[in-house]
Amino acid sequence: MSKQLTRLPNDKIIFGICSGLAQYFGIDKTVVRIIMVLLLIFTGFFPVGLIYIIAYFIMPVDSSSNISNSDIIK
């Protein structure tokens, strides 16, 4: 089974992007979140923030998570 980059809505703070990246690369999700915050601060939000928002629309939701559509919107 090949790895697939997905959002993890069960393990999210905002959209589950960072936890999905952490799972895909096999590293701690806290490290990914800290790196993301530092990049947001040092780049002035625009490039990294825009990529994050685009990733929300592009990355599919993890199919193995047991959630309903109303949980995704929250």
pLDDT number for residue 65:
65
| 60 in Cβ contact with 7 (< 8 Å) | yes
**Taking the model in full, what pTM does it have?**
0.80
Distance CA 61, CA 38 (A): 25
Domain parsing of the chain, residue ranges: 9-62
pLDDT tens-digit map of 16-62: 999 999 999 999 999 999 999 999 999 998 999 999 999 999 999 98
pLDDT number for residue 2:
82
